[in-house]
Amino acid sequence: MQQLIDENFFTIVIRILVALVLSGLIGFERELKNHSAGFRTHILVGVGACLMMLLSIYGFTDFMGEDSVRFDPARIPSYVISGIGFLGAGTIMVYGGTIRGLTTAASIWAVAGLGLVVGVGMYATAVFTTLVILLSLIFLNNFEKRFTRASSINILEIVVTNETMLHDLVAVLESYDLDIQAMDVEKSGKDLRHIYIKTRLPEGEPYLRLFDEISRLSFVQNISRRA
């Protein structure tokens, strides 16, 4: 029993539990917004990073007395920070010219940092950072939506047939003085294409008229707006 539980065991348990709670709070916020990496993913990342930090601190104490061993507690955490980028990249998706998942990828990277900080015993720093991250994810997101709603960049997705007359579509867009920043065309089967147009859409009645005119074009099958 003495070999299984040493004097550092309860310190390790407390740090892992703290990492679980703090990373779980951030993951819960992502879960509420239905993101790809949610509650469980953030907990696993935070607890795993904490475990790697604890391994770096306490896992090699038996070898510290040997002259041929060089103790570097920062080596394992450095690999955690660089390696977590692959997991974060898995949450980033490119959809019709729109990049989604960057915030979730950043939150995973931040949670890994939280786990390392908790693993080394910096509880106050970890709690304060968790509050900052949560405030950023919750309140700054709402502030950004309200502040940029009138002039936000949108992706206009139009499903058309192969007999598309692009000049007719462009003529409708130009009649509303829209600044087309990018246009992407993707094939969807044999007979359909998806056209993604990045632009600033008008608000109110002009927005409704624009959608009505585009939908009246004979080759248009469907039209939708993506923020």
Half-sphere exposure (CA, 13 Å, Cβ side) for 88? 17
Q: Which residue has the tokens 């060089």?
A: 70
Is residue 183 within 8 Å of residue 198, measured between CB atoms? yes
Q: Which of 17-21, 135-139, 167-171, 173-177 has the highest mean pLDDT?
A: 17-21
**Alpha carbon distances (Å) from 136 to 33, 110, 131, 153:** 14, 12, 8, 21
Q: What is the DSSP string of 36-97?
A: SS-HHHHHHHHHHHHHHHHHHHHTTGGGTTSTT----TTHHHHHHHHHHHHHHHTT-EEETT
Give 20 or 78, the one with higher predicted confidence. 20
CA nearest neighbour of 225 among 158, 164, 174: 158
CATH superfamily of 154-226: ACT domain (3.30.70.260)
Half-sphere exposure (CA, 13 Å, Cβ side) for 169? 21
User: What is the band of 131 on the pLDDT scale with cuts at 50, 70, 90?
Assistant: very high
Instruction: Report the alpha-carbon distance of residue 227 to residue 216 in Å, rounded.
Output: 23
Retrieve residue 44's tokens. 């696993």
The whole-number average pLDDT for the span 120-129 is 90
Give 29 or 118, the one with higher predicted confidence. 118
User: What is the band of 22 on the pLDDT scale with cuts at 50, 70, 90?
Assistant: very high
The whole-number average pLDDT for the span 31-51 is 83
Residue-wise pLDDT for 146-173, tens only, equals 655 544 567 788 888 876 677 888 788 8
Q: What is the DSSP string of 156-190?
A: EEEEEETT--HHHHHHHHHHTT----EEEEEEETT
Biggest CA–CA distance in the chain, Å, is 81
Instruction: Report the alpha-carbon distance of residue 164 to residue 198 in Å, rounded.
Output: 19
User: What is the band of 18 on the pLDDT scale with cuts at 50, 70, 90?
Assistant: very high
Q: Which residue has the tokens 């970890």?
A: 126
The whole-number average pLDDT for the span 86-106 is 67
The whole-number average pLDDT for the span 201-212 is 77
Domains of the chain, residue spans? 9-148, 154-226
Q: What is the pLDDT of residue 118?
A: 92
